Each structure stands twice: as C-alpha cells, then as structure tokens.
Amino acid sequence: MAEKNAGITRRDRERNEAVREKLEQKVTLIERIRKRRLTWFGHVMRMDGNRLPVRAMHCRVEGSRSRGRQRKRWIDNIKEDLEACNLDMETALDLTEDRKRWTGQPSS
C-alpha cells in the first residue's frame, strides 16, 4: 500500500481529522490497531490449548499487585475492542472458531 505525503508537519498544527481527509484516509490508526489486535486474539483462540500464547493468555500469576492504578493488561484492551464492536467475550469466542467469519473474509 503506497502511503501519500501531504507535506504537513507538526508545526502546521492541523487536526488529524483534517489531515486524514486531505489524504482520503477512511480508517484511523486506532481502528487499524484494534483490527490487528482482534485478529491476533482470534488467531490465539484457535490455537491448541498447550501452545505458549494460549497458556500465557490464561495464566494467573501468584502474589499481589502493587498499589495504585493498575497497568492495563492485553486482555483488558481486547475487552474494550470487543465493546467497541458491540460484542461480548462469549460471542467473540464463538466467532473466533471460524476464521473467515472472524476476519470478515468472504466465504469461498
């Protein structure tokens, strides 16, 4: 995919929406990140249960967490992404079993 260059710098202080409109970009960076994160989530959920990424996703660490605001975990991001797509975790787990449905590819 060839990227366009609008010749705009940070000093121009233009809003991201205006730059995206000039470049005729429909998808935001946040949406791209969300799509890639959910794609990886589906990939991991389809793996065998003894694979390291699956075990890491479901593992529990012994001990207590530090005081203060807790750091966001990867699964917390996934839950937010699913909420943005109007899905709950249970529905998402069912959808991930079929890769074509999960990624939105047309069926052959």
Identify the CA nearest to 92 among candidates 7, 22, 34.
34
pLDDT for the residue 3: 56
DSSP category for residue 65? P
Residue 108 has pLDDT above 60, yes or no: no
Full-model pTM: 0.75
Residue 4 has pLDDT above 70, yes or no: no
Residue 1 has pLDDT above 50, yes or no: no
21 vs 79: CA distance, rounded Å: 30
Residues 74 and 33: beta-carbon distance below 8 Å: no
Residues in the chain: 108
Q: Distance between alpha carbon 38 and the CA centroid of its chain, in Å?
A: 4
Q: Which residue has the higher pLDDT, 66 or 3?
A: 66
Q: How far apart are CA 101 and CA 95, in angstroms?
A: 7
First to last CA, the chain: 25
Task: Dump pLDDT digits (tens) for 81-100.
Answer: 999 999 999 999 999 998 88
Question: Can you give the pLDDT at residue 33?
Answer: 94
Express each pLDDT in 38-72 by its tens digit: 999 999 999 998 999 988 888 888 888 888 998 88
In the chain, what is the greatest distance between 2 CA atoms, to the nearest angstrom? 52
